[in-house]
């Protein structure tokens, strides 16, 4: 838990740090989870399967169609939203899991030329940092989640857009670099987003490894969302210039959690000193 | 443009020596006045027929302790207006006779000299302006005039809004400056309240802090939500010490204490702490919603309110019952369902059918003998501190509400003294004339009565369904107006209107009984409920 001396885009910066860290990890992608999720569609009734899109088949809608006679997984074309029937007989397509994605969610993987264009900024972000794996810029990853402000997604994005990064040849704002699916025109995303106001995730996967909560109310919502965040680490960024009631809300919640959590002084001592005006507390499961 | 997080962090990163320069002021007469008024307040609080007087005295004393009021000739008069003439007090509460007389003597003595806190503040401001230092004053907006008069006396013509911070949200966006001035103890709620951030996230190097002897900071003030520790220690109540936490934690504060004024033989009590201990069981913590700069309404803190949020995407829930903390309150509309009272015919809040009559009569009476009317009303039981100016306010035409006394009893007394020809104006014989006029006033305050049921409390599906079906009209009106009505279409289960009032601010730190809730009133009316 981090308390800041003012309202800040701190949550975005921390999420960016985590995003940057996972760019060094060759396994930091959703491919296996995605494959499993599509196969799990087979357990559902046909008409309740989620709409799938194929990156090579434009605007056509599909759903998972099980195995064909050659034991290949297939997707089957379905009418688009608002239509009741197809004009022509439905297409059955054998497919590569990497080429299909769920409607409203980011693409799983893109070709060279369509990768996230912020490689240079990510590289320059940390002096003497590890190598950014080029392949990761082409693959979606949902291991880090940003839990936005309860005032809404727009307010979260607004404050993130107040920070700009320059590298030798690139300039971009934090909201873009974070690659949140709905904030960016890019087709892959390296950061999932939880809308604390509507309590909705921007994608359906297993719980992330880390969630960064932007603000006190967002933090409390994350704690309450045990299904999505019950197993992950949480970093909460709290503005301590808030009204007393809200500050006390956090103190009371933490007092309640002391039956399961202890402060982790050992880790605290191993961290570099926090900047003046910022305070930090670390809690770990007993 | 709002200040950036980078500039605040850069300011804090500098090697400042953060100092609280605490000036503790003592005055023999003020101490006497405080002690006797406190005794009166505590005693009257126990009398069921005098709790309102106790409350009003408490409000007045709390203001005197936390703001630099001038000790002018009005001081004894203010006490007299609340309690009445000494002979009457002696007769009604013999046990308070001595305390009341002592209070009046002390108040009269105080008028001989200027309030020492004002003198001290004047000296500090003079020095700061002379030295070209940037300073700010943290105070409630109602206390602004007291500071204005000090600045005006010291440095005529130099008053600007920039000197003042009235709310936490104003503090949050302020540029760093040199010195902050504050009067009254550090408290998170109620009288003299200020944000914890003054100490946990200073935008200044020095804080000149004026308090009366006996006043103590709230233990636990300067709370850091992450570590759960505070700048003002839990055990430092009597000494108002800075806790050790501040040294090892966020901001290392150094405190210097200067005592000035009379040497007292007894230690002053901390009235604000005493007041908290004598809160009545029928009062609960409430939040004051500011509907504009003049009017507001009280609600229980944890009560979900029916709100319309035009800033939300229309596809989402723009209308619904929410806790205020969960929504961005600026620009959100409070929805007050108003059902037309069957008994009282078709009255519209702003029509002012009855108010035209009594306001005309009141204006005439004021023109005839303002002071005389004031005295007669006061003797009859309207014990309001600013009654003289209130009478003028009540003459004003209907606006957001119909300006009028807050209590029905006060309104009845007022009407009784106006000698209105009720036979000429009466509608029917079922109710007294003043009751029709009072209903009109209450309706203008957003109070809805339908066969004895308070309609604000309804939360059934019907009302939400109706409201959602009217979303287009609501959206359109909300773009143009901050206070408007929408008629419930005919044929629905509910009949009447929905009133929409835009919330411009929210203030906590009030305790009030149920009878004071859910009514739109002048903001000044709510001061008596400040904790």
Question: For A23-72, what is each residue's pLDDT tens digit?
Answer: 999 999 999 988 888 888 888 887 788 888 887 777 788 988 888 888 88
Asked if residue B360 is part of any domain, the answer here is yes
Whether B71 and B106 share a structural domain = yes
Asked if residue B232 is part of any domain, the answer here is yes
From the list B9, B227, B326, which residue is nearest A281 (CB)?
B227
The residue among B277, B302, B335 that closes a domain is B277
Whether B104 and B156 share a structural domain = no
The pLDDT of B266-290, averaged and rounded, is 84
Whether A154 and A64 share a structural domain = no
The pLDDT of B224-245, averaged and rounded, is 65
CA separation for the pair B402, B293 (Å, rounded) = 16
Which residues of chain A make contact with B326, given a CB cutoff of 8 A? 150, 217
Which residues of chain B make contact with A240, given a CB cutoff of 8 A? 196-197, 200-201, 223-226
- The CA distance from B313 to the nearest CA of chain A, in Å, is 10
Whether B236 and B290 share a structural domain = no
- Best probe of the B interface among A240, A256, A281, by most B CBs < 10 A, is A240
In chain B, the residue whose alpha carbon lies closest to the alpha carbon of A10 is B5
CA separation for the pair A143, B35 (Å, rounded) = 64
pLDDT over 80 (residue B429): no
Give residue B445's pLDDT band: very low, low, confident or very high (50, 70, 90). Answer: confident
Whether A51 and A154 share a structural domain = no
Which CATH number fits the domain that encloses residue B184? 3.40.50
Whether A177 and A281 share a structural domain = yes
pLDDT for res B50: 83
Q: Could A7 and B5 be called an inter-chain contact, meaning their C-beta atoms sit closer than 8 Å?
A: yes
CA separation for the pair B304, B326 (Å, rounded) = 10
Query: Cα dist. B449→A96, A243, B346, B354, B402 in Å?
Result: 66, 35, 13, 18, 17
Task: Please indicate whether residue B53 or residue A21 has the higher confidence score (pLDDT).
Answer: A21
Q: Could A275 and B8 be called an inter-chain contact, meaning their C-beta atoms sit closer than 8 Å?
A: no
pLDDT over 70 (residue A275): yes
The pLDDT of A213-233, averaged and rounded, is 93
Q: What are phi and psi of A230, to 5 degrees?
A: -60, -25
The pLDDT of B488-509, averaged and rounded, is 81
The answer to whether residue A263 neighbours chain B at the CB level (below 8 Å) is no
Give residue A179's pLDDT band: very low, low, confident or very high (50, 70, 90). Answer: very high
pLDDT for res B344: 44
The residue among A84, A102, A120 that closes a domain is A102
For A27-36, A197-206, B443-452, which range has the lowest pLDDT when averaged over its residues? B443-452
Asked if residue B293 is part of any domain, the answer here is yes
Q: Which residues contact B457 (CB under 8 A, 6 or more apart)?
A: none
Whether B411 and B512 share a structural domain = no
CA separation for the pair B417, A219 (Å, rounded) = 59
Whether A69 and A168 share a structural domain = no
Q: Could B5 and A8 be called an inter-chain contact, meaning their C-beta atoms sit closer than 8 Å?
A: yes
The answer to whether residue A273 neighbours chain B at the CB level (below 8 Å) is no
Q: What is the pLDDT of residues B364-393, one digit of tens each?
A: 999 988 888 888 888 888 877 678 888 888
In chain B, the residue whose alpha carbon lies closest to the alpha carbon of A218 is B326
pLDDT for res B19: 94
CA separation for the pair B32, B40 (Å, rounded) = 12
From the list A7, A250, A277, which residue is nearest B250 (CB)?
A277
pLDDT over 90 (residue B206): yes
Task: Please indicate whether residue B392 or residue B451 has the higher confidence score (pLDDT).
Answer: B392
pLDDT over 90 (residue A92): no
% chain B with pLDDT above 90: 35
Whether A86 and A152 share a structural domain = no
pLDDT for res B248: 46
The answer to whether residue A244 neighbours chain B at the CB level (below 8 Å) is yes
pLDDT over 70 (residue B160): yes
What percentage of chain A's residues is helix, strand, coil (to nearest 5)? 30, 25, 45
Q: Could B223 and A2 be called an inter-chain contact, meaning their C-beta atoms sit closer than 8 Å?
A: no
Give residue A224's pLDDT band: very low, low, confident or very high (50, 70, 90). Answer: very high
Which residues of chain A make contact with B200, given a CB cutoff of 8 A? 3, 5, 240-241
Find out whether A194 and A228 touch, Cβ atoms under 8 Å. Answer: yes
- CA-based nearest residue to A216, from B223, B334, B322: B223
pLDDT for res B329: 60
CA separation for the pair B504, B238 (Å, rounded) = 38
Distance of CA B161 to the CA centre of its chain: 20
Number of structural domains (chain A) is 2
Find out whether B58 and B37 touch, Cβ atoms under 8 Å. Answer: no
What's the burial of B316, exposed, middle or buried (CB within 10 Å: 0-12/13-18/19+)? exposed
pLDDT over 80 (residue B2): no
Instruction: Work out the angle at residue A158's Cα, subtended by the Cα atoms of residues A155 and A164, and round it to the nearest 5 degrees.
Output: 155
The pLDDT of A272-277, averaged and rounded, is 87
Asked if residue B3 is part of any domain, the answer here is no
Task: Please indicate whether residue A215 or residue B494 has the higher confidence score (pLDDT).
Answer: A215
Whether B250 and B328 share a structural domain = no
pLDDT over 70 (residue B427): no
The answer to whether residue A243 neighbours chain B at the CB level (below 8 Å) is yes
Q: Could B228 and A254 be called an inter-chain contact, meaning their C-beta atoms sit closer than 8 Å?
A: yes
The tally of CA atoms less than 13 A away on the side-chain side of residue B396 is: 14
Round the CA-based radius of gyration of chain A to a whole number and report it.
21
CA separation for the pair B280, B297 (Å, rounded) = 21
Whether A25 and A56 share a structural domain = no
pLDDT over 60 (residue B350): no
Highest mean pLDDT among A105-119, B367-381, B495-509: A105-119
For A220-229, B311-320, B385-394, B474-483, which range has the lowest pLDDT when averaged over its residues? B311-320
pLDDT over 50 (residue A19): yes
pLDDT over 80 (residue B461): no
Contact pairs from chain A to chain B, CB under 8 Å: 107
Whether A169 and A126 share a structural domain = yes
Please give the ipTM for the structure prediction: 0.86
The answer to whether residue A269 neighbours chain B at the CB level (below 8 Å) is no
CA separation for the pair A248, A251 (Å, rounded) = 5
In chain B, the residue whose alpha carbon lies closest to the alpha carbon of A4 is B201
The mean predicted confidence, pLDDT, of chain A is 90
DSSP A191: B
Which residues of chain B make contact with A9, given a CB cutoff of 8 A? 5
Whether B103 and B124 share a structural domain = no
**How big is chain A, counted in residues?**
286
Round the CA-based radius of gyration of chain B to a whole number and report it.
25
pLDDT over 70 (residue B249): no
Whether A67 and A152 share a structural domain = no
Give residue B339's pLDDT band: very low, low, confident or very high (50, 70, 90). Answer: low
SS3 B70: coil
Task: Please indicate whether residue B120 or residue B84 has the higher confidence score (pLDDT).
Answer: B120
Whether A96 and A136 share a structural domain = no
- CA-based nearest residue to B522, from B418, B394, B412, B434: B394
Task: Calculate helix-pair angle for B471-480, B461-469, nearest 10 degrees.
Answer: 70
Question: Containing H/E element for B8?
Answer: helix B5-13
From the list B301, B311, B326, which residue is nearest A217 (CB)?
B326
Whether B141 and B255 share a structural domain = yes
The tally of CA atoms less than 13 A away on the side-chain side of residue B450 is: 14
Whether A76 and A20 share a structural domain = no
pLDDT for res B136: 96
Give residue B428's pLDDT band: very low, low, confident or very high (50, 70, 90). Answer: low
The residue among A102, A133, A155 that closes a domain is A102
From the list B201, B311, B327, which residue is nearest A277 (CB)?
B201
Q: Report residue B438 as tokens.
A: 């009072």
Return the number of other C-beta atoms located less than 10 Å from residue A183's C-beta: 21
Whether A244 and A174 share a structural domain = yes
Whether A21 and A87 share a structural domain = no
Q: What is the pLDDT of residues A129-165, one digit of tens each?
A: 899 999 999 999 999 999 999 888 888 999 999 999 9
The answer to whether residue A162 neighbours chain B at the CB level (below 8 Å) is yes
Q: Report residue A251 as tokens.
A: 């103190």
Number of structural domains (chain B) is 4
pLDDT for res B385: 66
CA separation for the pair B522, B295 (Å, rounded) = 4
Whether B246 and B369 share a structural domain = no
Q: Could B172 and A241 be called an inter-chain contact, meaning their C-beta atoms sit closer than 8 Å?
A: yes
pLDDT for res B456: 44
The residue among A50, A69, A102 that closes a domain is A102
Q: Could B5 and A240 be called an inter-chain contact, meaning their C-beta atoms sit closer than 8 Å?
A: no
CA separation for the pair A110, B111 (Å, rounded) = 82
Q: Which residues contact A84 (CB under 8 A, 6 or more apart)?
A: none
Q: What is the DSSP string of B119-150?
A: HHHHHHHHHHHHTT--EEEE--GGGHHHHHHH
Q: Report residue A278 as tokens.
A: 């910022």
For A84-88, B150-154, B288-292, which range has the lowest pLDDT when averaged over its residues? A84-88
Q: What is the pLDDT of residues B172-181, one digit of tens each?
A: 999 999 999 9
Task: Please indicate whether residue A214 or residue B340 has the higher confidence score (pLDDT).
Answer: A214
The answer to whether residue A150 neighbours chain B at the CB level (below 8 Å) is yes
For A207-237, b/e burial (b = at least 16 CB within 10 A) is bbbbbbbbbbbbbbbbbebeebbeebebbbb
pLDDT over 50 (residue A109): yes
Q: Could A244 and B226 be called an inter-chain contact, meaning their C-beta atoms sit closer than 8 Å?
A: no
Q: Could B201 and A10 be called an inter-chain contact, meaning their C-beta atoms sit closer than 8 Å?
A: no
From the list A6, A242, A251, which residue is nearest B228 (CB)?
A251
Whether B297 and B252 share a structural domain = no
For B489-519, b/e burial (b = at least 16 CB within 10 A) is eeeeebebbbbbbbbbbbbbbbbbbeebbbb
The range of the structural domain enclosing residue A141 comes to 2-29+110-285
The A2-4 sheet, strands edge to edge: A200-201, A192-195, A144-147, A210-214, A233-239, A2-4, A279-280
pLDDT for res A14: 97
Which residues of chain B make contact with A280, given a CB cutoff of 8 A? 226
Find out whether A74 and A66 touch, Cβ atoms under 8 Å. Answer: yes
Find out whether B506 and B282 touch, Cβ atoms under 8 Å. Answer: no
Return the number of other C-beta atoms located less than 10 Å from residue A67's C-beta: 11
pTM for the complete prediction?
A: 0.80
- The CA distance from B488 to the nearest CA of chain A, in Å, is 29
Q: Report residue A26 as tokens.
A: 């060759």
For B406-416, b/e burial (b = at least 16 CB within 10 A) is bbeebbbbbbe
Q: What is the DSSP string of B401-469?
A: S----SSHHHHHHHHHHHT--HHHH---SSS-HHHHHHHHHHHHTT--EETTEEGGG---HHHHHHHHH
CA separation for the pair A148, A154 (Å, rounded) = 9
CA separation for the pair B201, B12 (Å, rounded) = 8
Whether B516 and B414 share a structural domain = no
What's the burial of B24, exposed, middle or buried (CB within 10 Å: 0-12/13-18/19+)? middle
The residue among B228, B261, B294 that closes a domain is B261
CA separation for the pair B342, A175 (Å, rounded) = 56
pLDDT for res B246: 44
The range of the structural domain enclosing residue B77 comes to 28-112+269-277
Give residue B52's pLDDT band: very low, low, confident or very high (50, 70, 90). Answer: confident
Find out whether A222 and A147 touch, Cβ atoms under 8 Å. Answer: yes
- Best probe of the A interface among B226, B228, B247, B285, by most A CBs < 10 A, is B226
The mean predicted confidence, pLDDT, of chain B is 84
The residue among B244, B277, B310 that closes a domain is B277
Q: What is the pLDDT of residues B408-422, one digit of tens each?
A: 888 999 998 988 876
Give residue B36's pLDDT band: very low, low, confident or very high (50, 70, 90). Answer: very high
Q: Which residues contact B136 (CB under 8 A, 6 or more apart)?
A: B162, B163, B164, B165, B174, B177, B179, B180, B181, B204
Whether B199 and B171 share a structural domain = yes
CA separation for the pair A122, A174 (Å, rounded) = 11
CA separation for the pair A142, B378 (Å, rounded) = 71
- The CA distance from A122 to the nearest CA of chain B, in Å, is 21
Whether B21 and B130 share a structural domain = yes
pLDDT over 80 (residue B119): yes
From the list A8, A162, A241, which residue is nearest B197 (CB)?
A241
Which residues of chain A make contact with B12, given a CB cutoff of 8 A? 5, 275-277
Q: List the beta bridge partners of residue B502.
A: B333
Asked if residue B186 is part of any domain, the answer here is yes
In chain A, the residue whose alpha carbon lies closest to the alpha carbon of B224 is A240
Give residue B347's pLDDT band: very low, low, confident or very high (50, 70, 90). Answer: very low
- The CA distance from A99 to the nearest CA of chain B, in Å, is 31
Q: Could B312 and A152 be called an inter-chain contact, meaning their C-beta atoms sit closer than 8 Å?
A: yes
Which residues of chain B make contact with A279, given a CB cutoff of 8 A? 224, 226-227, 249-250
């Amino acid at each position: 838990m981090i308390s800041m001396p003012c309202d800040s885009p701190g949550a975005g910066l921390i999420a960016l740090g985590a995003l940057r860290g996972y760019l060094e990890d060759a396994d930091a992608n959703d491919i296996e989870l995605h494959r499993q999720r599509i196969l799990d569609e087979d357990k559902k009734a046909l008409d309740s399967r989620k709409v799938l899109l194929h990156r090579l088949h434009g605007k056509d809608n599909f759903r998972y169609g099980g195995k064909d006679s050659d034991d290949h997984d297939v997707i089957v074309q379905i009418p688009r939203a608002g239509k009741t029937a197809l004009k022509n007989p439905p297409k059955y397509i054998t497919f590569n899991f990497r080429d299909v994605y769920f409607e409203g969610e980011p693409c799983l993987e893109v070709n060279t030329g369509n990768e996230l264009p912020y490689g240079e900024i990510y590289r320059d972000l940390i002096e003497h940092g590890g190598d950014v794996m080029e392949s990761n810029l082409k693959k979606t990853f949902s291991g880090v989640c940003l839990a936005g402000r309860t005032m809404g997604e727009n307010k979260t994005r607004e404050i993130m857009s107040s920070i700009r990064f320059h590298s030798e040849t690139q300039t971009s704002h934090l909201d873009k670099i974070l690659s949140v699916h709905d904030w960016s025109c890019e087709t892959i995303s390296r950061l999932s987003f939880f809308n604390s106001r509507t309590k909705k995730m921007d994608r359906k996967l297993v719980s992330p490894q880390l969630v960064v909560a932007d603000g006190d109310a967002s933090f409390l919502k994350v704690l309450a969302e045990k299904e999505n965040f019950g197993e992950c680490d949480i970093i909460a960024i709290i503005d301590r210039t808030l009204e007393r009631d809200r500050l006390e809300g956090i103190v009371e919640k933490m007092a309640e959690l002391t039956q399961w959590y202890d402060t982790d002084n050992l880790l605290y001592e191993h961290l570099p000193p926090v900047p003046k005006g910022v305070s930090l507390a670390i809690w770990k499961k007993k | 443009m709002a200040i950036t997080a980078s500039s605040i962090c850069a300011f804090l990163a500098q090697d400042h020596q953060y100092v609280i320069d605490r000036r503790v002021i003592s005055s023999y007469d003020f101490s006497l006045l405080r002690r006797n008024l406190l005794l009166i307040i505590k005693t009257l609080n126990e009398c069921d027929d005098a709790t309102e007087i106790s409350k009003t005295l408490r409000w007045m004393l709390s203001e005197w302790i936390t703001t630099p009021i001038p000790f002018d000739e009005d001081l004894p008069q203010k006490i007299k207006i609340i309690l009445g003439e000494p002979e009457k007090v002696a007769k009604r509460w013999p046990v308070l006779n001595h305390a009341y007389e002592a209070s009046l003597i002390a108040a009269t003595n105080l008028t001989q000299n200027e309030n020492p806190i004002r003198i001290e503040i004047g000296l500090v401001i003079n020095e700061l302006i002379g030295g070209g230092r940037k300073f700010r004053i943290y105070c409630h907006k109602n206390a602004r005039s007291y500071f204005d008069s000090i600045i005006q006396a010291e440095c005529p013509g130099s008053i600007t809004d920039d000197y003042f911070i009235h709310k936490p949200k104003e503090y949050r966006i302020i540029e760093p400056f040199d010195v902050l001035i504050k009067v009254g103890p550090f408290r998170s709620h109620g009288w003299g309240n200020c944000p914890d951030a003054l100490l946990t996230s200073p935008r200044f190097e020095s804080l000149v802090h004026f308090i009366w002897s006996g006043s103590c900071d709230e233990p636990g003030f300067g709370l850091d939500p992450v570590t759960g520790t505070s700048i003002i220690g839990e055990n430092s109540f009597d000494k108002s010490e800075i806790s050790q936490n501040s040294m090892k934690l966020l901001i290392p504060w150094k405190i210097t204490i200067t005592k000035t004024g009379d040497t007292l033989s007894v230690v002053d009590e901390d009235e604000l702490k005493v007041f908290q201990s004598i809160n009545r069981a029928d009062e609960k913590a409430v939040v004051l919603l500011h509907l504009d700069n003049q009017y507001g309404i009280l609600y229980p803190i944890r009560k979900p309110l029916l709100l319309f949020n035009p800033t939300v995407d229309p596809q989402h829930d723009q209308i619904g019952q929410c806790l205020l903390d969960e929504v961005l309150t600026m620009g959100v509309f409070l929805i007050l369902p108003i059902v037309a009272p069957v008994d009282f015919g078709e009255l519209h809040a702003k029509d002012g059918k009855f108010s035209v009559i009594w306001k005309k009569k009141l204006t005439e009476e004021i023109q005839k003998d303002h002071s005389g009317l004031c005295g007669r009303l006061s003797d009859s039981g309207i014990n309001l501190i600013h009654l003289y100016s209130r009478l003028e306010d009540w003459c004003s035409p209907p606006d957001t509400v119909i300006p009028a006394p807050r209590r029905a009893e006060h309104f009845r007394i007022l009407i009784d003294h106006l000698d209105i020809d009720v036979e000429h104006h009466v509608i029917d014989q079922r109710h007294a004339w003043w009751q029709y006029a009072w209903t009109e006033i209450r309706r203008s305050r957003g109070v809805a009565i339908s066969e004895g049921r308070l309609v604000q409390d309804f939360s059934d599906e019907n009302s939400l369904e109706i409201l959602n079906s009217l979303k287009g009209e609501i959206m359109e009106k909300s773009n143009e107006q901050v206070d408007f009505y929408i008629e419930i279409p005919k044929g629905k289960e509910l009949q009447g209107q929905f009133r929409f009032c835009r919330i411009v601010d929210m203030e906590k730190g009030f305790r009030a009984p149920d009878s004071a809730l859910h009514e739109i009133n002048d903001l000044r009316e709510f001061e008596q409920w400040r904790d």
